[in-house]
Structure 1
Amino acid sequence: MSDRPTTAYKVLTGEQMATLQRDGRFAGAPVDLADGYIHMSTAGQLTETVDKHFAGQDDLHVVAVDLGSFGASLKWEESRGGQLFPHLYEPLLLETVIAYAPLERAPDGTVRLPVSG
Protein backbone atom coordinates (compact mmCIF):
# COMPACT_ATOMS: atom_id res chain seq x y z
CA MET A 1 0.00 0.00 0.00
CA SER A 2 1.37 3.35 -0.96
CA ASP A 3 -0.08 5.13 2.08
CA ARG A 4 2.36 3.39 4.40
CA PRO A 5 5.45 5.24 5.64
CA THR A 6 8.73 4.67 3.82
CA THR A 7 10.80 5.10 6.99
CA ALA A 8 10.60 3.16 10.25
CA TYR A 9 12.50 3.46 13.49
CA LYS A 10 14.29 0.97 15.70
CA VAL A 11 15.43 1.75 19.25
CA LEU A 12 18.79 0.22 20.12
CA THR A 13 20.86 0.15 23.29
CA GLY A 14 24.37 1.53 23.09
CA GLU A 15 25.74 -2.01 22.89
CA GLN A 16 23.31 -2.93 20.09
CA MET A 17 24.20 0.26 18.18
CA ALA A 18 27.90 -0.61 18.49
CA THR A 19 27.16 -4.09 17.11
CA LEU A 20 25.32 -2.62 14.11
CA GLN A 21 28.17 -0.21 13.39
CA ARG A 22 30.90 -2.82 13.90
CA ASP A 23 29.31 -5.77 12.09
CA GLY A 24 27.17 -3.88 9.56
CA ARG A 25 24.15 -5.89 10.71
CA PHE A 26 21.96 -6.39 13.75
CA ALA A 27 20.18 -9.72 14.26
CA GLY A 28 17.82 -8.33 16.88
CA ALA A 29 17.30 -7.60 20.55
CA PRO A 30 16.25 -10.48 22.82
CA VAL A 31 12.54 -9.73 22.20
CA ASP A 32 13.15 -9.67 18.43
CA LEU A 33 14.98 -13.00 18.53
CA ALA A 34 12.21 -14.53 20.65
CA ASP A 35 9.45 -13.28 18.31
CA GLY A 36 11.31 -14.13 15.09
CA TYR A 37 11.40 -10.62 13.63
CA ILE A 38 12.83 -7.17 14.33
CA HIS A 39 10.24 -4.86 15.87
CA MET A 40 10.17 -1.36 14.39
CA SER A 41 7.86 1.62 14.78
CA THR A 42 6.58 4.40 12.57
CA ALA A 43 7.31 8.00 13.54
CA GLY A 44 3.86 8.24 15.12
CA GLN A 45 4.38 5.07 17.17
CA LEU A 46 7.95 5.73 18.33
CA THR A 47 7.35 7.74 21.52
CA GLU A 48 4.80 5.23 22.83
CA THR A 49 7.20 2.38 22.02
CA VAL A 50 10.01 4.06 23.97
CA ASP A 51 7.71 4.86 26.90
CA LYS A 52 6.34 1.30 27.04
CA HIS A 53 9.44 -0.81 26.33
CA PHE A 54 12.45 1.35 27.26
CA ALA A 55 11.27 3.36 30.30
CA GLY A 56 14.10 4.25 32.65
CA GLN A 57 16.86 3.06 30.31
CA ASP A 58 19.83 5.21 29.37
CA ASP A 59 22.21 5.06 26.42
CA LEU A 60 19.50 4.50 23.83
CA HIS A 61 19.77 5.28 20.13
CA VAL A 62 17.13 5.75 17.43
CA VAL A 63 17.87 4.32 14.00
CA ALA A 64 15.89 5.44 10.93
CA VAL A 65 15.49 2.65 8.39
CA ASP A 66 14.61 2.92 4.70
CA LEU A 67 11.71 0.50 4.29
CA GLY A 68 12.14 0.56 0.51
CA SER A 69 15.26 -1.57 1.02
CA PHE A 70 13.19 -4.60 1.95
CA GLY A 71 10.92 -6.79 -0.10
CA ALA A 72 8.87 -9.65 1.28
CA SER A 73 10.94 -9.72 4.49
CA LEU A 74 9.08 -6.59 5.69
CA LYS A 75 5.55 -7.18 6.92
CA TRP A 76 3.02 -4.77 8.39
CA GLU A 77 1.33 -6.63 11.24
CA GLU A 78 -1.23 -5.77 13.86
CA SER A 79 0.16 -5.21 17.32
CA ARG A 80 -0.42 -2.77 20.19
CA GLY A 81 -3.95 -1.42 20.11
CA GLY A 82 -4.65 -2.91 16.69
CA GLN A 83 -2.09 -0.63 15.02
CA LEU A 84 -0.03 -1.95 12.12
CA PHE A 85 3.69 -2.06 12.89
CA PRO A 86 6.59 -2.75 10.50
CA HIS A 87 8.24 -6.09 11.32
CA LEU A 88 11.48 -7.12 9.63
CA TYR A 89 12.00 -10.86 9.10
CA GLU A 90 15.74 -10.61 8.39
CA PRO A 91 18.72 -8.93 10.08
CA LEU A 92 18.81 -5.14 10.03
CA LEU A 93 21.67 -4.09 7.77
CA LEU A 94 23.63 -0.89 8.33
CA GLU A 95 23.32 -0.08 4.61
CA THR A 96 19.53 0.32 5.08
CA VAL A 97 19.98 2.88 7.88
CA ILE A 98 19.45 6.43 6.65
CA ALA A 99 20.04 8.23 9.96
CA TYR A 100 20.72 7.54 13.61
CA ALA A 101 21.22 9.54 16.77
CA PRO A 102 21.18 9.18 20.54
CA LEU A 103 17.61 9.17 21.81
CA GLU A 104 16.52 12.67 22.77
CA ARG A 105 13.15 14.11 23.63
CA ALA A 106 11.57 17.33 22.46
CA PRO A 107 10.20 19.75 25.07
CA ASP A 108 6.74 18.17 24.67
CA GLY A 109 8.16 14.74 25.61
CA THR A 110 8.06 13.19 22.16
CA VAL A 111 11.11 11.35 20.89
CA ARG A 112 13.13 13.36 18.37
CA LEU A 113 13.61 11.66 15.03
CA PRO A 114 17.18 11.33 13.76
CA VAL A 115 17.97 13.48 10.74
CA SER A 116 20.14 12.23 7.91
CA GLY A 117 23.04 14.33 6.77
Structure 2
Amino acid sequence: MLIYKIFRAAEWDQLCTDGETVGAPIDVTDGYIHISTADQVVETAAKHFAGETDLHLIALDSDALADDLKWEPSRGGALFPHLYRNLKMQDVIWEKPLPLVDGAHQFPEL
Protein backbone atom coordinates (compact mmCIF):
# COMPACT_ATOMS: atom_id res chain seq x y z
CA MET A 1 0.00 0.00 0.00
CA LEU A 2 1.22 3.50 -0.75
CA ILE A 3 1.56 5.86 2.21
CA TYR A 4 2.47 9.54 2.10
CA LYS A 5 4.82 12.10 3.64
CA ILE A 6 4.53 15.83 3.10
CA PHE A 7 7.79 17.75 2.95
CA ARG A 8 8.51 21.44 2.77
CA ALA A 9 10.86 22.41 -0.07
CA ALA A 10 13.95 22.63 2.16
CA GLU A 11 13.21 19.20 3.70
CA TRP A 12 12.77 17.62 0.25
CA ASP A 13 15.95 19.31 -1.00
CA GLN A 14 17.86 17.94 2.01
CA LEU A 15 16.64 14.40 1.28
CA CYS A 16 17.64 14.75 -2.37
CA THR A 17 21.08 16.10 -1.46
CA ASP A 18 21.95 13.80 1.44
CA GLY A 19 20.10 10.68 0.31
CA GLU A 20 18.37 10.32 3.69
CA THR A 21 16.69 12.42 6.35
CA VAL A 22 15.57 12.32 9.97
CA GLY A 23 12.48 14.21 8.76
CA ALA A 24 10.92 17.50 9.70
CA PRO A 25 11.50 19.16 13.08
CA ILE A 26 8.33 17.54 14.49
CA ASP A 27 9.68 14.13 13.44
CA VAL A 28 12.94 14.75 15.26
CA THR A 29 11.07 15.91 18.36
CA ASP A 30 8.74 12.88 18.37
CA GLY A 31 11.47 10.34 17.52
CA TYR A 32 9.87 8.98 14.35
CA ILE A 33 8.84 10.17 10.90
CA HIS A 34 5.14 11.00 10.63
CA ILE A 35 3.46 9.47 7.58
CA SER A 36 -0.20 9.33 6.48
CA THR A 37 -2.41 6.98 4.50
CA ALA A 38 -4.32 8.18 1.44
CA ASP A 39 -7.40 8.62 3.66
CA GLN A 40 -5.43 10.73 6.17
CA VAL A 41 -3.07 12.88 4.11
CA VAL A 42 -5.55 15.57 3.01
CA GLU A 43 -6.49 16.26 6.65
CA THR A 44 -2.79 16.17 7.59
CA ALA A 45 -2.09 18.88 5.01
CA ALA A 46 -4.99 21.02 6.22
CA LYS A 47 -4.09 20.63 9.89
CA HIS A 48 -0.30 20.88 9.82
CA PHE A 49 0.51 22.70 6.54
CA ALA A 50 -2.37 25.18 6.17
CA GLY A 51 -1.46 28.03 3.86
CA GLU A 52 2.03 26.68 3.14
CA THR A 53 3.37 26.71 -0.40
CA ASP A 54 6.25 24.81 -2.02
CA LEU A 55 5.22 21.47 -0.53
CA HIS A 56 6.10 18.05 -1.91
CA LEU A 57 4.04 14.89 -1.58
CA ILE A 58 6.18 11.76 -1.26
CA ALA A 59 4.77 8.28 -1.84
CA LEU A 60 6.28 5.32 0.02
CA ASP A 61 5.54 1.60 -0.06
CA SER A 62 4.39 0.45 3.36
CA ASP A 63 5.42 -3.15 2.64
CA ALA A 64 9.00 -2.11 1.87
CA LEU A 65 9.20 -0.23 5.18
CA ALA A 66 7.48 -3.00 7.16
CA ASP A 67 10.23 -3.79 9.67
CA ASP A 68 10.66 -0.14 10.64
CA LEU A 69 7.04 1.00 10.27
CA LYS A 70 4.72 1.02 13.26
CA TRP A 71 0.98 1.70 13.07
CA GLU A 72 0.08 3.79 16.11
CA PRO A 73 -3.02 5.67 17.28
CA SER A 74 -3.03 9.38 16.64
CA ARG A 75 -5.67 11.89 15.51
CA GLY A 76 -9.08 10.64 16.62
CA GLY A 77 -7.62 7.26 17.56
CA ALA A 78 -6.91 6.38 13.91
CA LEU A 79 -3.80 4.29 13.26
CA PHE A 80 -1.08 6.28 11.51
CA PRO A 81 2.13 4.90 10.01
CA HIS A 82 5.28 6.05 11.85
CA LEU A 83 8.75 5.29 10.51
CA TYR A 84 11.35 4.51 13.17
CA ARG A 85 14.47 5.09 11.10
CA ASN A 86 15.83 7.64 8.67
CA LEU A 87 13.85 7.99 5.47
CA LYS A 88 16.08 7.15 2.51
CA MET A 89 15.81 8.42 -1.04
CA GLN A 90 15.58 4.79 -2.19
CA ASP A 91 12.33 4.50 -0.16
CA VAL A 92 10.63 7.12 -2.34
CA ILE A 93 8.30 5.65 -4.98
CA TRP A 94 7.43 9.06 -6.40
CA GLU A 95 7.37 12.76 -5.54
CA LYS A 96 4.84 15.31 -6.78
CA PRO A 97 4.33 18.99 -6.02
CA LEU A 98 1.47 19.84 -3.68
CA PRO A 99 0.31 23.24 -4.95
CA LEU A 100 -1.84 25.58 -2.92
CA VAL A 101 -4.83 26.90 -4.91
CA ASP A 102 -7.39 29.19 -3.31
CA GLY A 103 -6.21 28.15 0.14
CA ALA A 104 -6.43 24.38 -0.44
CA HIS A 105 -3.68 21.95 -1.38
CA GLN A 106 -4.32 20.21 -4.70
CA PHE A 107 -3.58 16.50 -4.40
CA PRO A 108 -2.84 14.18 -7.29
CA GLU A 109 -5.05 11.12 -7.58
CA LEU A 110 -4.02 8.81 -4.74
Say whether the fold is shared (TM-score over 0.5).
yes
| In structure 2, distance between residues paired with 1:80 and 1:48 | 10
1:90 match: secondary structure: coil
Alignment pair present for 1:17 and 2:22: no
- Listed as ranges, the matches of 1:17-96 within 5 Å are 17-96=12-91
Q: How many residue pairs align between the two structures?
A: 109
1:10-32 CA-to-partner distances (Å, cap 9, x unmatched) read 00000011011111111111100
Is the CA contact 2:4–2:59 (under 8 Å) kept in the aligned structure 1?
yes
State the TM-score, normalized to the length of structure 1.
0.84
| In structure 1, distance between residues paired with 2:109 and 2:98 | 8
1:33-87 CA-to-partner distances (Å, cap 9, x unmatched) read 0100000000110110000000111111100011122233100000001110000
Q: CA deviation at 1:104?
A: 3.4
| In structure 1, distance between residues paired with 2:29 and 2:105 | 28
Runs of 4+ residues over 6 Å off in structure 1: none
Higher strand share: 2
Matched residues, percent identical? 45
Is the CA contact 2:21–2:87 (under 8 Å) kept in the aligned structure 1?
yes
Q: CA deviation at 1:113?
A: 3.5
Cα RMSD of the aligned pairs, angstroms, is 2.0
| In structure 1, distance between residues paired with 2:86 and 2:98 | 22
